[in-house]
Amino acid sequence: MSFELSDRVQAVPPSGIRRFFEIADERDEVISLGVGEPDFATPWAARDAAIASLEQGKTSYTANRGKTDLREAIADYVADRFDLGYDPDEEIIVTAGASEAVDLAFRAFVDPGDTVAIAQPSYISYEPGVIFAGGEVLPVPTREEDDFRLTVEGLEEAGADEADVLVLCYPNNPTGAIMPAEDLEPIAEFAREHDLLVLSDEIYAELTYDGEHTSIATFEGMRERTIVFNGFSKAHAMTGLRLGYALGPADAIGAMNKIHQYTMLSAPTTAQYAALEALDSCEDDVQEMVDQYDRRRQFVLSRFREIGMDVFEAKGAFYCFPEVPESFTAEEFAEEVLREQGVAVVPGDVFGTGGEGHLRISYATGLEDLREALNRIEAFVADNA
């Protein structure tokens, strides 16, 4: 027999990123600037805590919402760091990565036919998540002339005033854009005026290089209509441990937990012990990683300008988003620089509307590899001038 796929699954194309990694696997000595994860190891204190928990046999399920002491630590952390106040008992859920939290929110708050406005370019999983939940995607393009920040004008032009949900990701994957408080405030006003639920993915919040990160949930009237996502993958270099969390009103987190308890039951126990220690004692490690990312960011931006490729001043996450030469599409450039020079990058159009003609470059790799990769890109551009 053959399986008949659901319409929702058939509506989602294969990942546009995966094809480039498959090409990269076919050749030797490829330098990848395409991977969206830290090149650092998890800080030792967090690893030791995970090992100790295993040695002590702490391998059972935890509470559905996560260990109580971890939720209390998260509440203290987001209050001190981002001025966000949430009750650890009712308003925080610990999940298997921030991606699970995002998926829970789509399934908890999107009904079939609901319209979900997504600021794009954006993380590739939002659009499939909406489709799997039965919703309809409304792309809201951001523009390079606005430093890829979301604007009220962009929302209005896209028709987002008729949407049910608005999805934000700042600092942004793939562009590296940030949204300072003065830019977020009119977006918050728009959401209140048009009664939008806001899903704010702030997984890169700690990786902000120009000023301090501001959450849209801190604005008047926004806490009650916003779910904030964060986690330990990026700033704490814990991608493989799969631990994230969501913050929101008690009824909203309760709805997400209803799905979580049937599908995941609880987040990985060992990772929760690591995360608790990470919040307790790894602040210096995180700051050292942030400082190194910032040095790499400045180097990469400088080199692209020397090469002659336009690139805006990315100020967050660990990505930059240069324009390709006019003689190429982004996909052509990515394929040919991989085949000819052995550098893996990701074409910007896989991240949605507004990404055309750009590349996502991850600088979450060592400076030596960054130097060599950019020298190869420079040679490729010169050869094809």
Q: CATH number of the domain at 28, please.
A: 3.90.1150.10
Nearest to 202 by CA among 221, 215, 217, 189: 215
Length of the chain: 385
30 and 65 co-located in one domain: no
pTM: 0.96
17 and 155 co-located in one domain: no
276 and 370 co-located in one domain: no
142 and 159 co-located in one domain: yes
Domain end marker among 249, 266, 281 = 281
Question: For residue 2, what pLDDT is reported?
Answer: 77
35 and 62 co-located in one domain: no
Assign residue 71 the CATH number of its domain. 3.40.640.10
| 26: number of Cβ within 10 Å | 9
17 and 165 co-located in one domain: no
State both tokens at 161: 């005033």
Residue 1 lies in a domain: no
168 and 230 co-located in one domain: yes
Question: For residue 171, what pLDDT is reported?
Answer: 98
34 and 79 co-located in one domain: no
321 and 248 co-located in one domain: no
Place of tokens 């799997």: 132
Residue 310 lies in a domain: yes
80 and 145 co-located in one domain: yes
Q: Which domain holds residue 178?
A: 44-281
Alpha-carbon Rg of the chain, whole angstroms? 21
* Total domains present in the chain: 2
One pLDDT digit (tens) per residue for the chain, 385 residues: 678 888 888 888 877 777 767 776 777 789 999 888 999 999 999 999 999 999 999 999 999 999 999 999 999 999 999 999 999 999 999 999 999 999 999 999 999 999 999 999 999 999 999 999 999 999 999 999 999 999 999 999 999 999 999 999 999 999 999 999 999 999 999 999 999 999 999 999 999 999 999 999 999 999 999 999 999 999 999 999 999 999 999 999 999 999 999 999 999 999 999 999 999 999 999 999 999 999 999 999 999 999 999 999 999 999 999 999 999 999 999 999 999 999 999 999 999 999 999 999 999 999 999 999 999 999 999 999 8
29 and 162 co-located in one domain: no
Question: For residue 99, what pLDDT is reported?
Answer: 97
Domain end marker among 222, 247, 281 = 281
Question: For residue 1, what pLDDT is reported?
Answer: 63
Question: For residue 15, what pLDDT is reported?
Answer: 76
140 and 85 co-located in one domain: yes
